[in-house]
Amino acid sequence: MSKPTVPVIVTVNLQGKTVELTQLGEDALFGRASYGKYAYAVGCERLFGLLDRHGIRSTVFVPGAEAEANPGYVTALAGRGHEIAAHGWAMEEMDAVGVDERVLLERTHAALSRIVGRAPRGFRAPHGRLTERTLGHLADLGYHYDSSFQDDDHPYRLDADGGRDMVEVPHAEILIDATLYGQRQTHDRVMKMWREEIEAMHRERCLITLTLHPRSDYGSGRASRVAALDGLFTWMRKLEGISFFTCEEVADQWHP
């Protein structure tokens, strides 16, 4: 390669009703507590349909409980070339009192391995919350990378943080749809923000990690938002040297 590529990763946090179930029972998942149900009813197919049309293989971070509830869908995503990685059990805060993170990490690992037929190699913490032991547990379980941190323009080694032989594939707060849609920004403002950020990251050849959710509140699952993303991907694909990868591919390139 004469010119270095600019790696782009599209990640999807597959957050459905497990988000609401941390607070409420199944009988109360109506009204404002029903946004999570949108994910599997509508949002996922809109979002992954778009990614497939653009030939983009994403990395999908899936809570174990979501995979248990929708095993066929998660398996099908893997079959379509998307990477399935771990996203905790059910949107727990791993640093909260009384949470046994080791048990939950193992349970998620077993569920995803069984459902997908392959052990997940990457992890993203629900809510981005870790303890100082999390990376060590992940290393024990054989994980190769984490993608919870937001502290670098490029991948880096996690040995110093307790992730033996692991790589961090960082993402960025401003390139998470929830950051902006969660603040109820319009589509145009989100796209303007992202184009300005991505244009400058591309100029400096940073790792560009985009994080999306298939929901209709803080996510990108609505038809209008998928249409906005369609325009964004079309524009990005014209940027010189841009190449789409999964997190796993970037981690492997960085540290085989």
Partner 1 sequence: MISLAQRKQHAWPDGARCVVGLTLDFDGTSLERGRGQLPLGARSHGRYSAKCGIPRFVDMFTRQNVPWTFYVSGYDAEESPDLVRDISRSGIEIGSHGYFHEGVDPGGAEPELLERTHRLLKEITGTAPRGWRSPSGHKTARTLRKLRELGYVYDSSDKDFDLPYLARYDGEERSDYVCLPNNTSSLDDFPFYRVSYTPPSEVLTHWEQEFDAIYAEGGYYNLTFHPRVGYGSGSPARVAAVEGLINYAKRHEGVRFVGMLELAEWCLKRPSDWRRDWSGQ
Q: Are strands 167-168 and 145-146 parallel, antiparallel or unpaired?
A: parallel
Angle of helix 101-116 versus helix 71-79 axis, rounded to 10: 60
Listed ranges 142-150, 185-193, 202-210, 235-243: which one lies at the site for partner 1 (CB under 8 A): 185-193
- Residue 193 makes contact with partner 1 by CB under 8 A: no
- Residue 48 makes contact with partner 1 by CB under 8 A: no
Nearest to 162 by CA among 101, 206, 248: 101
Write b or e for each residue in 192-201: b if 16 or more Cβ atoms lie within 10 A of its Cβ, otherwise e: eebeeebeeb
Task: Tell the burial category of 235 from Cβ atoms under 10 Å away from its Cβ (0-12, 13-18, 19+).
Answer: middle
Per-residue tokens: 212: 């999306």
Number of neighbouring beta carbons within 10 Å of residue 100: 11
Listed ranges 112-120, 145-153, 194-202, 224-232: which one lies at the site for partner 1 (CB under 8 A): 224-232
Indicate the residue among 200 and 227 with the shorter CB distance to partner 1. 227
Residues 12, 38, 139, 141: which binds partner 1 (CB under 8 A)?
38
Stretch 52-111 residues interacting with partner 1 (CB under 8 A):
69-70, 72-73
- Residue 36 makes contact with partner 1 by CB under 8 A: yes
């589509």: which residue's tokens?
Answer: 187
Listed ranges 7-15, 56-64, 119-127, 221-229: which one lies at the site for partner 1 (CB under 8 A): 221-229
- Residue 28 makes contact with partner 1 by CB under 8 A: yes
Stretch 142-161 residues interacting with partner 1 (CB under 8 A):
none
Residues 228, 229, 250, 251: which binds partner 1 (CB under 8 A)?
228
Residues 223, 234, 243, 253: which binds partner 1 (CB under 8 A)?
223
Indicate the residue among 77 and 208 with the shorter CB distance to partner 1. 77
Cα(77)–Cα(127) distance, rounded to whole angstroms? 23
> Which residues touch 9 (CB under 8 Å, ≥6 apart)?
58, 59, 169, 171, 207, 208, 209, 210, 244, 245, 246, 247, 250
- Residue 183 makes contact with partner 1 by CB under 8 A: yes
Binding site for partner 1 (CB under 8 A): 16-17, 27-28, 30-38, 40-42, 45-46, 69-70, 72-73, 181, 183-189, 216-218, 222-228
